[in-house]
Amino acid sequence: MNQMREDLIAPCGMNCRCCSAFQRVKNSCLGCRNEKTITYATKGSRECIIKTCPKNQEGTQFCFNCDAFPCRRLNDLNKRYQAKYHMNFIQNLIFIKENGVAAFLENEEERWKCPECGSVMCVHKHQCMRCGVMIVDQHS
């Protein structure tokens, strides 16, 4: 059922497949790496300080390739996401650097799979957007 894709892993380590903006039905985001995202994405995605970072504009695939990794911007974003959503971008990036994107996607497939219907859970809503089942503490 492989629902995770490499092109949906943002430079910061966010898995866009788990994002509420990507999962919503109306006006859904296409993911941080999609060229059309600048036009169609939410204001938050268009103005993301990581996405618009000059190093990412130079073609850095992931933030860990930057000399400043982890920079203040990434640390601030990571701190916010850890507190609100139990998502650790820096851990994600270190895992990708050490194990590769394929291994990360395999873990994400299992980590975010809804136990009820098999869809991808939403990190922002703490639930499955398809069937409504809530995320339990296993994602921290």
Residue-wise pLDDT tens digits, 53-71: 877 666 668 999 988 999 9
**Residue that wins the pLDDT comparison between 50 and 86:** 86
Instruction: Assess contact for 11 and 32: CB atoms under 8 A.
Output: yes
pLDDT digits (tens, 9 = 90+) for 80-112: 999 999 899 999 999 999 999 999 999 999 999
Give the pLDDT score at 76.
93
For residue 140, name the pLDDT band (cuts at 50, 70, 90): very low
- Ranges 40-44, 51-55, 70-74, 125-129, most confident: 70-74
Instruction: Assess contact for 105 and 4: CB atoms under 8 A.
Output: yes
Q: Is the pLDDT of residue 16 over 70?
A: yes
Best CA proximity match to 139, nearest among 82, 97, 64:
82
**DSSP symbol at 121:** E
Integer angstrom CA distances of residue 110 from 97, 126, 138, 139:
20, 16, 11, 11
Secondary structure of residue 9 in the 3-state scheme: strand
Secondary structure of residue 134 in the 3-state scheme: strand
Best CA proximity match to 89, nearest among 63, 117, 61:
63
Which residue type does 11 have?
A: P
Give the pLDDT score at 24.
85
Greatest alpha-carbon pair distance for the chain in Å reads 42
Give the whole-angstrom CA distance, residue 37 versus residue 14: 15
Best CA proximity match to 9, nearest among 61, 55, 67:
61
Quote the percentage of the chain above a pLDDT of 90.
Answer: 40
Per domain, the residue ranges of the chain are: 8-139
Give the pLDDT score at 134.
83
